[in-house]
Amino acid sequence: MIAGIVLLLLILFIIIFLISRIKIVPQAQEYVIERLGSYSTTWTTGLHLLVPFVDRIAKKVSLKEVVVDFRPQPVITKDNVTMQIDSVVFYQVTDPKLYTYGVERPLVAIENLTATTLRNIIGELELDATLTSRDHINSQITSILDQATDRWGIKINRVELKNILPPAEIQDAMEKQMKAERERRETMLRAEGEKRSSVLVAEGKKQAQILGAEAEKEAKILRAEAEKQAMILHADAVREQKIREAQGEAEAIAAVQKALAESIEMLNKADPQQNVLALKSLEAFAKAADGKATKLIIPSEIQSFAGLAASAGELFQATKPETPEN
């Protein structure tokens, strides 16, 4: 009975021991396995069996990216200014075997390597260049550390300068310099603004004068054009008036000529006697005599007719009866 219980306990112990030798490697981790004290293999994610009394897990390595904030390091610039620089390193294990056997205490090694590299880089720069060249310093440190840690199975992804702390007197001098620079920029901006304002005012006056001259010029042109059009219209009106007057005179002359021609034609048709013609000539001569001419040329026919008229008048006076006297 006791032997059976012992056997049962032994079997249970063996089962528990074998179960304890079954290992599950989680995601983003790898196990470095040693067999009889030497490196055997590297377990990746999944289920694995550890051989009892032969194999052992030498190191459990995380493959996640690790962020390490190192304490501030004193560095000296090229112009002999001592400052404190706080750096942050982002690294990731790429080879668990090299990480396990490559270096003792990898974090201490990375910290010391970062400090020495930072001193070398800052020692070649002056204070102003150090404060304005963070990206350049970050890239240089990252490249140097990445090359140095390859044999440790570590990948340096990025190095950032978290804080750069110059001495207090340097900070005061920098603040004064920044204040003076701001005042200088303010003065320059104010002067530039006044200059631009003066230029804009002068430009506005210039444009106003140009526009006024152009407006005056345009007004003169329009005025001259209006006067020209008025003269043209007046000349056209005078010409039209003269044309109409000439046409009226021509029509009047034509009407007179037509009337004269018609009268002559009527006389010709009436076949007047010589005495009638002579009488008409006398009437025409009488009208001519009413003018202002001082000399008249009397045709011979009218002279004979005039003598005849005078004789007839005398005869009429001789035959007129006398009026009795009271």
Distances in Å between the Cα of 218 and the Cα atoms of 50, 123, 209, 223, 306 are 106, 75, 14, 8, 80
Give the tens place of pLDDT for each residue, 200-244: 988 888 888 898 888 888 888 988 888 888 888 888 888 888 888
In the predicted structure, residue 316 carries a pLDDT above the cut 50:
no
Confidence category of residue 285, pLDDT binned at 50, 70, 90 = low
Q: What are phi and psi of 164, to 5 degrees?
A: -120, 115
pLDDT tens per residue, range 17-28: 778 788 899 999
pLDDT score recorded for residue 323:
46
Report residue 42's pLDDT band, with 50, 70 and 90 as the boundaries. very high
One-letter amino acid for residue 260 of the chain: L
Q: At what angle do helices 134-148 and 106-122 cross, to 10 degrees?
A: 140
Q: What is the pTM of this model?
A: 0.52
pLDDT at 274 over 80: no
User: Stretch 278-302: mean pLDDT, rounded?
Assistant: 55
Residue 320: which pLDDT band, with cuts at 50, 70 and 90? Answer: very low
Whether residue 1 contacts residue 30, with contact meaning beta carbons closer than 8 Å, is answered with no
The pLDDT value recorded for residue 169 is 79
- Among 24-28, 99-103, 157-161, 252-256, name the one with the lowest average pLDDT: 252-256
* Surface-to-core class of residue 298, CB atoms within 10 Å of its CB (0-12 exposed, 13-18 middle, 19+ buried): middle
| Average pLDDT taken over every residue of the chain | 81
Distance CA 92, CA 106 (A): 12
CATH class of 66-166: alpha beta
Instruction: Note the pLDDT of residue 172.
Output: 79
Q: Structure tokens of 98?
A: 């090299």
Residue 14 to residues 2, 200, 268, Cα–Cα distance (Å): 18, 98, 178
The separation between the first and the last C-alpha atoms of the chain, rounded to the nearest angstrom, is: 226
pLDDT exceeding 90 applies to what percent of the chain? 22
Name the β-bridge partners of 75: 83
Give the pLDDT of residue 324. Answer: 46
